[in-house]
Structure 1
Amino acid sequence: MVNGKGSRGRGGAPRRGGPARPVAAGRARPAKKSVSRPAPPPREEPRTFVLGAVPGATPGKWIDLWRERMPHVSLELREITVEHQRAAIDDLDAALVRLPLAASEDLHVIEIYEEQPVVVMSTDSELTAADELALADLAGQVVIAAADDVLHVVVPDAVPPAFAPPGDTAQAIATVATGVGVVIVPMSLARAHRRRDVEYRILRDGPVSTVALAWLRENTTPDVEAFVGVVRGRTARSSR
């Protein structure tokens, strides 16, 4: 029954304020997922990579790339002689050498490039009239071989020098500059000892000189592998 005093519910209990509403519970927030982050790479300790190089080797572009990619590893360049290049490798991380190199199972050797042989002569020599030379063109010439000669070219009908071999290539070229004889060397050595009083011409049928990278197999470190990658033209992201 409905009367003016309001309605009653089941059992005669008065209703207050209309039908009961459920109490709104607070919104449940989803649990935060833990994001696993990779551990930061270990901090690189400063160190030095020691590279040997024979005269005439030109590692400049590789050294520039190394400094860009490996700023935490300084590169020290040491000049070594061809005569003692094998012994020098034992005290180096790697070395740019000239082949042939005494065969050894404890060495790793990678051929990099070949150099053309050239004939160095005085600017007054009649040989400068040619753009290129052949061994036959050197018949009757005094062919000087320095003590550090790396090509060991045998020239048919050449005139042997009447003096002791110069101590090194620089001395041999200085002798040639006076108008005495010619010297046969890899092109890089002719450029390294360039003088105003000498010129050089390519010896088209002479032996090439091969420059290689060599290191001890037991010293194959990540730094050595990184330098091999630089020499072989790999990009910074390419795999070994």
Structure 2
Amino acid sequence: MITEKDITETLKNELEPLNYIYAFWIEGSFAMGYADEYSDIDYWIDVDDDHQKDALEHVEIALRNLGEIDGRDENGNGNPKLGQIVYHIKDSSPYLVLDFNWQLHSRDRKEYHYIKNDIVEGASVIFDKDDVVRFEEADDQEIINNKENCKKECDYRYSQHIRVRKYINRGAFAECYAYYNKYVIEPLVMLLRLKYTPLYPYHYLLHISMHMPCAIVERLEKLMQVKSLNDIENRMREAEEWYHELHEELY
């Protein structure tokens, strides 16, 4: 069966000789080292502005050398300097989806970089002809700003716990469950993010198991496993205690 190594090597051999493709790299789980049999692959290239179409033709030539393309979904993101097509190769694992992204070479380099020794986002460079993929130190001021901005939002949401209690008293589980997540779980996760991944306070639950200690994730999962209004009422007290602990530690 086709593997990530097969696909990456085939793309590299096809794209690297082209003088209008400046860099090729991988993001996501394969770059960060925690990919498994269910992981997709996040590819990126940096391409000359006038050769976007040519580059994509070569991408698809490379993929067809591996097999028939039985999935192709082009997504717009509103940024004229960026693009994305999601591919799948027939007879490969259904989970081995190829999230192929590109940026035009004229994109302002101040818009993007990776953080050294980051545990959330990173890049594995396949080739780079023009110092496109850059790694920089974390910005301490950004962390300070995140803490201040999140404090306002978290404090507001915490002040709205009465909304959860209102629906407990009304016996309305669906509404109570929605508010429990919005006003109890989400601000708690935001504080946990500020503690463990302070550059990414709004990543919420995305790959959280990879970013925090197992004991912390298990404690959080327990709070999320509610089946009744009584569960919500009990878990809410536990969440509030934890929230206060984190708030005192961070502020």
TM more than 0.5: no
Q: Which has the higher strand share?
A: 1
**Greater length-normalized contact order (CA 8 Å, ≥ 6 residues apart):** 1
Bigger helix share: 2
Per the normalisation by structure 1, the TM-score is: 0.22
Give the TM-score of the pair, scaled to structure 2.
0.21
